[in-house]
Amino acid sequence: MAQRKIIHIDMDAFFASVEQRDNPELRGKPVVVGGQPNTRGVVAACSYEARKFGVHSAMPSSRAYRLCPNAIFVAPRIEAYRAVSVVIQQVFWRYASEVEPLSLDEAYLDVSTADILDGSATHIEQSIKDAIFN
């Protein structure tokens, strides 16, 4: 019996990364996707720059603002994230015989029968990461 090779992919800071990709002015800045700080909203996602201040998902937006008053708060654009997710899932299918999406930014990939990159799950994962980045 062949060994199963399952890759778990979770695109950390996905919503914030899409925002930074689509709006170059946001690159390198603390971005918070979610409710505005003067509402009862929460952080859906945040950039790595915002995380340096202690901001994280599911945190009240008002607290995120207190931790990082220079953060740029952006309303979620779910349709944009869905569109990017579709493209990324197409990348997954280039490598995997089965893809089990968990959310827009997370999936399990079965690469047990992959014959590319010597069948190495580690090399396949790196190739997927590079393809998504590009």
One of 19, 49, 106, 125 is an active-site residue; which one? 106
**pLDDT of the chain along its 134 residues, tens only?**
568 899 999 988 999 999 999 999 999 999 999 999 999 999 999 999 999 999 999 999 999 999 999 999 999 999 999 999 999 999 999 999 899 999 999 999 999 888 777 778 889 999 999 998 88
Same-domain check for residues 68 and 86: no
Task: Quote the CA–CA distance of 97 and 93 in Å, as a whole number.
Answer: 7
CB 11: neighbour CB atoms within 10 A? 19
Give a yes or no: residue 34 inside a domain: yes
In the chain, the number of structural domains is 2
Same-domain check for residues 84 and 54: no
Same-domain check for residues 113 and 125: yes
Same-domain check for residues 69 and 82: no
Task: Quote the CA–CA distance of 13 and 17 in Å, as a whole number.
Answer: 6
Task: Quote the CA–CA distance of 21 and 57 in Å, as a whole number.
Answer: 19
CATH number at residue 103: 3.30.70.270
Same-domain check for residues 52 and 83: no
Give the structural domain span for 47: 14-74
Active site residue 106: yes
Q: How high is the pLDDT of residue 2?
A: 66
